Structure 1
């Protein structure tokens, strides 16, 4: 990429590593947004962490190149929203759904990257888009398919998940599918 903005979700434990990696790719830090997570019963989500519990995810924003028009916002740098229970998305998705306000913020920040009537397309790309999410105008979304027969690891035994062959995963599912090689 010669010029553009990159938005990366991260957790506080690997935030410094992400920043170092992006600097090695000549990307400069611009800003961050915090998603303060609440559980469905309206209390802060308390996730374990080595030192202090975590109730947030961080969206880091990086810029590469020049000539990118960024609209300054008066919006907050914190979004307070509910986290969907894993049971609602874990069977079809690799990552949890993010709050819709994040997309609004990106579209406001980059007004000229949105849907262009003459080109009949936009210039936003979302990797690992959610399968059931409403498609936003101006966005190209990529969804990584997840085997719908996947079961939670806690429901599997060690024998179900590990093979003696290097690079192999064995899953004894009801469909009798077995041994998907990892390259």
Structure 2
């Protein structure tokens, strides 16, 4: 050993570094001079209770870390003695499934404006109550949004009598062109529905009506403040928009009817460019900028989609029958056009190129004649 004045030599410093910089608990206990590492007789006896194999499984670095951080030693817990191979246990009997007592739901918190997840408890033994709106079938059926119901069979003669007694319905036969007698018609219709047989090649219900013929009709006289609903084909869609713009009718919306076959397959008839599988109903409104009185017309929001799928039906004249929901949409949009609760009041709805025998309450229908 050297005295304090001279200090340690380079070789001695290396030996001290080797002895103090890296060691394990086992080396510290086996060291001849354990006091160098801070162990007394009691501590060495404590560690001698465990064999070397168990001590190797302790994490010495972890213990040293906590000693450095807290200034206290953390004596590791002894590991369980090693056992032999476990004997296989007998399989437990399957437990009966317990009924679910709660489930997670996502709810909107109006105070924070966030969606939160929370657990909702319920009794699985309670009955689930499903409330239906008040109704009295068949006079007051469920709304169509609750499901489509099949109507009961009605004999043909009974249907003919019901059709003949449709209230506030007028059906006229005349040639629809610029020379037709418009004096028999009103001049304040809120909605005009047109289904012209277009003069388009390969059209399913081809006729002789052109876009020029539509331009010559006094639509602005028939409905000076209302709406125009007109069925068009893909070939003349933009041309019809141009004609209605010249008459000061602005485009507002469209309804697309995807035509289906009875086997739920989309119709794909031949066309000049692409297969013809749908029809488009363009909706125009008289310009409220030029005619501000039109703002007074009451409109009602309709909760139906802009695209519908419906089966194609053929009329007696060989044309595609307009689906029922189209009429319902127009009547819903214009609630003041006809008051069903007050029969005897003429409606303000007009249909041009209507099918013979197709009568609806509150509608004036014009059947085109040669």
Matched position secondary structure for 1:142: strand
Q: How many residues align?
A: 140
1:132, distance to aligned residue in structure 2 (A): 3.1
User: Per-residue displacement from partner, 1:61-110 (whole Å, max 9, x unpaired)?
Assistant: 0001422322122211112111124xx5336xxx4211011000000000
Q: Contact 2:258 / 2:279 at 8 angstroms: preserved in 1?
A: yes
* Structure showing the higher helix proportion among its residues: 2
Question: Are positions 1:62 and 2:284 aligned together?
Answer: yes
Candidates 90, 98, 106, aligned match of 2:322: 98
Matched, 1:78 2:303: no
1:143 alignment partner in structure 2: 367
RMSD: 2.0
Residues 31-81 of structure 1: CA distance to partner in whole angstroms, max 9, x if unpaired? 000111012332111022233212100000000142232212221111211
Give yes or no for contact 2:353–2:366 (8 Å, CA) kept in 1.
Answer: yes
Match of 2:336 among 89, 102, 112: 112
Hey, what's the Cα distance between the residues in 1 that align with 2:251 and 2:328? 20
- Quote the offset at 1:118 in angstroms: 7.8
Distance 1:23 1:72 in 2: 25
| Change beyond 3 A, Cα 1:132–1:119 | closer
Structure 2: segments with no counterpart, 5+ residues: 1-220
Q: Is 1:30–1:62's contact at 8 Å kept on the other side of the alignment?
A: yes
The partner residue of 1:130 within 355, 361, 365 is 355
Matched, 1:89 2:316: yes
Deviations 1:114-168 (A, max 9, x none): 23738621100111111132x211111111246xxxxxxxxxxxxxxxxxxxxxx
User: CA separation of 1:119/1:132 partners in 2, compared to 1, >3 Å: closer, same or farther?
Assistant: closer
**Segment drifting more, 99-108 vs 114-123:** 114-123
**Gaps (5+ residues) in structure 1?**
147-183
Structure with the largest fraction of strand: 1
In structure 2, the residue matched to 1:48 is: 270
Aligned match of 1:13 in 228, 235, 238? 235
Distance, in Å, in 2 between the alignment partners of 1:136 and 1:113 is 13
1:163 corresponds in structure 2 to none
Q: Which moved more, 1:49-58 or 1:22-31?
A: 49-58
The correspondence of residues 147-162 of structure 1 with structure 2, limited to 5 A, is none
Q: 1:90 to 1:136 in 2, by over 3 A?
A: closer
1:30 is aligned to 2:222? no
Deviation sequence 1:10-31 (CA, Å, 0-9, x none): 0112110011110011000010
